[in-house]
């Protein structure tokens, strides 16, 4: 759906209603509303979402809340309903504002890259055989990690699409076997697979050989890091998919139907997008946490004009 059509659809379904207005703005609630609108309506990352002033409504228990969606010189105002207690947002449907979408994703025990104490968390539902996931991975590391340093932490959740990626499940299980001993080695393995997918697939796309390659690479990473090889071999041989299946169930509950899918403090991004779009969402999350995003990199200075005749030598040979 084009950006203009997206806005037109939203406007066509706008509700003109509201209830008892509140005079004071709640930054935490405002952030939840923005994240909910962006996530539920898949608002493009380069659109601005600005909340208007709540107004009385004829709907008992609700206020009218206009929200402006803008991009460049174009903008549209879409009317929503918000409950007087600030817990429900309505637009021909209701959204739970007591928590942001994706805010309760279980990351307990998952390897963390970046600052474990960072206020902003980027969660990626990742398929280790997916080329689009590999592209997103390369957008996150090293550029995004380098840009935000200790302001952000990154967590991956298992999302192997086994029906189209035959070795993705095995890769997730092997990665988790490494994670059980070392988060750093887990990330080394993920880095390698996302840049050597063709090596694992092989020219003949033989699944048995792919499984053997995944196990071999896992053992190599473990040897370099001096992990417990006996423990690792037992885990690789068992191929316990229960943890991965739990992550797949969570992805299904979130309505995910493709990979990669990112949640940045609850704000959802679908598919492999440019790193600058990821940065827009991270910057919003940082500001919501009271932190200042990194400054934009300085533009390269323009080259000085060349003197007349410069660079023309030999042109008339």
Quick one: pLDDT at residue 304? Answer: 60
Residue 247 belongs to a domain: yes
d(CA 172, CA 181): 15
Residue 38 belongs to a domain: yes
Same-domain pairing of 133 and 245: yes
Same-domain pairing of 91 and 13: yes
Last residue of a domain, one of 47, 65, 96: 96
Q: Which residues contact 254 (CB under 8 A, 6 or more apart)?
A: 101, 102, 105, 125, 261
Buried b / exposed e over 47-71, threshold 16 CB at 10 Å, is bebebeebbebebeebbbbbbebee
Q: Which residues contact 201 (CB under 8 A, 6 or more apart)?
A: 129, 167, 210
Q: What is the CATH number of the domain that holds 212?
A: 3.40.30.10
Same-domain pairing of 71 and 140: no
**Average pLDDT of adjacent 10-residue blocks, the chain of 317 residues:** 45 33 71 94 93 91 94 91 93 75 90 97 98 96 96 98 97 98 98 97 96 98 98 98 97 94 95 94 97 80 54 40
Is the backbone of residue 255 left (phi > 0), alpha (psi -120 to 50) or beta?
left
pLDDT tens-digit readout, 233-247? 999 999 999 999 999
Q: Long-range contact list for 291-294, CB < 8 A, 24+ apart?
A: 291/119, 291/120, 291/151, 293/148, 293/151, 294/147, 294/148, 294/149, 294/151
Quick one: pLDDT at residue 314? Answer: 40
pLDDT tens-digit readout, 34-71? 999 999 888 999 999 999 999 999 889 999 999 999 99
Nearest CA among 116, 111, 125 for reference residue 175: 111
Last residue of a domain, one of 35, 64, 96: 96
As for how many domains the chain has, the answer is 2
Nearest CA among 33, 39, 1 for reference residue 263: 39
Same-domain pairing of 242 and 281: yes
The DSSP secondary-structure symbol of 149 reads: G
H or E stretch covering 146:
helix 145-148
Quick one: pLDDT at residue 45? Answer: 93
Cis bond leading into 142, ω under 30°? yes
Residue 240 token pair: 């316990």
Same-domain pairing of 136 and 238: yes
Confidence (pTM): 0.75
Last residue of a domain, one of 96, 128, 157: 96
Same-domain pairing of 132 and 260: yes
Cis bond leading into 260, ω under 30°? yes
Q: Which domain holds residue 71?
A: 3-96
Quick one: pLDDT at residue 9? Answer: 44
Same-domain pairing of 22 and 142: no
- Scanning 202-308, the segments in alpha helix (DSSP H) are 207-225, 229-238, 242-253, 275-288
Quick one: pLDDT at residue 102? Answer: 83
Instruction: Report angle CA 249, 254, 258 to the nearest 5 degrees.
Output: 85
Residue 294 belongs to a domain: no
Same-domain pairing of 82 and 201: no
Residue 274 belongs to a domain: yes
Residue 317 belongs to a domain: no
Is the backbone of residue 265 left (phi > 0), alpha (psi -120 to 50) or beta?
left
Strands (E), the chain: 48-51, 55-56, 62-71, 74-83, 88-90, 94-96, 112-114, 120-126, 152-158, 261-264, 267-270
Quick one: pLDDT at residue 25? Answer: 73
158 three-class SS = strand
Quick one: pLDDT at residue 73? Answer: 87
Quick one: pLDDT at residue 8? Answer: 45
Residue 67 belongs to a domain: yes
Same-domain pairing of 89 and 149: no
Nearest CA among 163, 225, 158, 226 for reference residue 193: 158
Residue 316 belongs to a domain: no
**CA-to-CA separations, 113 to 34, 116, 141, 155, 222, in angstroms, rounded:** 27, 7, 10, 7, 18
Buried b / exposed e over 140-174, threshold 16 CB at 10 Å, is bbeebbebbeebbbbbbbbbbbbeebbbbbbbbbb
Q: What is the CATH number of the domain that holds 42?
A: 3.10.450
Same-domain pairing of 168 and 273: yes
Quick one: pLDDT at residue 310? Answer: 42
Same-domain pairing of 51 and 186: no
Same-domain pairing of 125 and 262: yes
Quick one: pLDDT at residue 113? Answer: 98
């Amino acid at each position: 759906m084009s950006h203009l059509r997206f806005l037109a659809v939203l406007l066509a379904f706008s509700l003109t209603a509201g209830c008892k207005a509140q005079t004071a703005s709640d930054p935490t609630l405002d952030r939840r509303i923005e994240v909910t609108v962006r996530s539920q309506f898949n608002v493009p990352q380069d659109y601005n979402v600005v909340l208007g002033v709540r107004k009385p409504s004829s709907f008992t228990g609700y206020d009218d809340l206009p929200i402006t969606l803008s991009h460049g010189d174009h903008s549209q105002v879409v009317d929503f309903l918000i409950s007087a207690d600030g817990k429900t947002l309505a637009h021909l449907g209701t959204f739970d504002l007591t928590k942001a979408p994706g805010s309760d994703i279980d990351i307990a025990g998952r390897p963390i890259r970046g600052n474990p104490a960072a206020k902003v968390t980027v969660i990626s539902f990742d398929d280790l055989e997916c080329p689009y996931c590999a592209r997103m991975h390369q957008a996150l590391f090293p550029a995004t990690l380098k840009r935000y340093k200790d302001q952000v932490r990154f967590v991956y959740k298992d999302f192997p699409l086994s029906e189209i990626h035959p070795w993705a499940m095995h890769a997730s299980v092997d990665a988790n076997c490494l994670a059980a001993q070392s988060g750093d080695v887990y990330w080394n393995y993920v880095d390698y697979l996302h840049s050597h997918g063709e090596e694992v697939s092989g020219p003949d796309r033989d699944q048995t050989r792919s499984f053997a390659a995944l196990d071999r690479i896992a053992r190599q990473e473990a040897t370099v890091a001096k992990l417990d090889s006996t423990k690792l071999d037992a885990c690789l041989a068992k191929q316990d998919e229960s943890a991965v299946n739990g992550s797949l169930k969570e992805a299904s509950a979130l309505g995910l139907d493709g990979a990669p899918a990112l949640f940045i403090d609850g704000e959802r991004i679908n598919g492999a997008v440019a790193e600058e779009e990821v940065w827009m969402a991270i910057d919003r999350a940082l500001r919501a946490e009271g932190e200042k995003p990194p400054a934009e990199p300085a533009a390269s200075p323009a080259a000085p004009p060349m003197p007349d005749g410069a660079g023309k030598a030999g042109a008339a040979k």
